[in-house]
Amino acid sequence: MRFSKVIELQGHIIDSLTLPKVYDTILGNNGAYLSEDIRIGRTKKDISYARIRVGAEKENILNNILEKLSELGADVKKDTRVKLGISPANGTFPKGYCPVYGRNLRILYNDKWIPVRKPSMKYGIRINEKEGTADAVCITEVKKGEKFVLGRRGVKEDKEKD
Amino acid sequence: MSKILMCPPAYYNIKYEINPWMNIHRSADTSAAQRQWENLYNILKDNLKIDIELIEPDPKLPDMVFTANAGLVKDKKFICSNFRYKQRQPERDLFSEWFMKNGYEVIGLPKRYYFEGEGDALFLGDTVFAGYRYRSDIHTHRYIAKIFDMRVISVELTDSYFYHLDTCFCPLADNTVFYYPYAFDSYANTAIKNLIPNRIRVRKKEAVTFCCNAIVYGNKIVMNRGADILKHRLEELGFSVYQIELSEFIKAGGSAKCMIMWI
């Protein structure tokens, strides 16, 4: 799925049948989902929790689904921009850099999800601010003062290639 | 709970339209409304032996008479409503003040979510059934569950004439309810079937008399006139049913249950 967002549901979503209703709503509106985390309450009083990635081929379809899910109690998790750090020396990634962990990574930079080019596992993700692009680079290519993505905040992996 | 809060209808009338029943060109007969309310009050006090507290009405708030919508109470905790329509929003402060003065813990919900109290949340044993769509947001249900430490079953309403849960769903005992199934979506109907073993389905021609908007106390039930089939069925189950004239309040989309809040 080209576009996706994460939603969270909390409450007595099993007994109320809210969870199946959410799934039906996604599928019935040309979306897809991946349940990332489901925690079911152990007693009648306990609330349950679900974190679901909702996807669609078109942004307007996704937005339409998210609007409907919001009416069913879903909280849409806000996208968080990437955090950047500066390389302290040639051949050194900044502390806490995000190593490439998938082949189809995107990062949220300047309010846009941009692809990480030339991905190779464990490379760092270097930002070219002038061009607004991101490239995976080997440690030997790192130059002092370059900007790299730190942590996984604002980084996501598309399951299918564009 | 054996105590209720009511508000005299001194300023009640149809001053605006916030549900399909209201029509500003069809105003209430205020004298008749007063008589009908007093009759309800007397039956609740004398026949049902319920303790009644009163809140002072406000001349700018004609719907204050419908106290059920002001919040939800359990164990001296009052969750105050976030009314959907601006016409009723000022009621919030007046009710909160009353509960505070009377020793209740007043709890607010996030202001971005609407919630209309007992109008959309009814206790059935150890569970709260909570309606959403027209007046309350489902997001509030998880807060209610946490505040009261109870299971809250969310049920979606689908007919704007039954815009509050208490217009179409009436718990009788821990495992019994009478309700109008066509006011709910299919998931809600399935949840109700799964969780409540004894269900009395009310027909549309009786549901529109607001018979589900009934006050139940022990084996006594008070409701508006007009639902004879339901009355007979309830009497067969051992209930005493008081059907009274509440026509002036139906004009505003309210009836017996709307005019009380269990406290």
pTM: 0.83
Please choose, from the candidates B262, B259, B250, the residue with its C-alpha nearest in 3D space to the C-alpha of residue B225.
B250
Q: What average pLDDT values come out for chain A (162 residues) when binned by 10 residues?
A: 90 98 98 95 95 94 95 87 93 95 88 88 93 94 96 80 42
What single string gives the DSSP state of each residue in B153-220? EEEEB--GGG-SGGGTEEEEETTEEEE-GGGB-HHHHHHHHHH-SEEEEPPHHHHTTTTTS-EEETTE
Q: Which helix (H) or strand (E) holds B241?
A: strand B240-244
Question: Closest-CA residue in chain A for B153?
Answer: A16
Residue to substitute from A7, A13, A16, interface B, most B β-carbons within 10 A: A16
Please work out, in degrees rounded to the nearest 5, the angle formed at the alpha carbon of residue B259 by the alpha carbons of B235 and B60: 165
CA torsion sign for B176, B178, B184, B186 is positive
pLDDT digits (tens, 9 = 90+) for A86-120: 999 999 999 999 999 888 899 989 878 899 999 88
CA distances from A5 to A32, A51, A122, B3 (A): 11, 10, 25, 48
* Chain segment B188-242, per-residue pLDDT in tens: 999 999 999 999 999 999 999 999 999 999 999 999 999 999 999 999 999 999 9
Of B139, B151, B190, the CB nearest to A45: B151
> Active-site residue numbers of B?
164, 258
Band of residue B138 on the pLDDT scale cut at 50, 70, 90:
very high
For the beta carbon of residue B65, count every other beta carbon within 10 angstroms. Answer: 23
Q: Does A18 touch chain B (CB under 8 A)?
A: yes
Taking the Cβ of residue A21 and every Cβ of chain B, the question of whether any pair is shorter than 8 Å is answered with: yes
Tokens 């209703």 correspond to what residue?
A21
ipTM of this complex: 0.92
Cβ neighbours of B153 in A, within 8 Å: 12, 15-16
B194 vs chain A: nearest CA distance in angstroms?
A: 8
**Identity of residue A67:** E
What does DSSP say about strands B176-179 and B169-173: parallel, antiparallel, or unpaired?
A: antiparallel
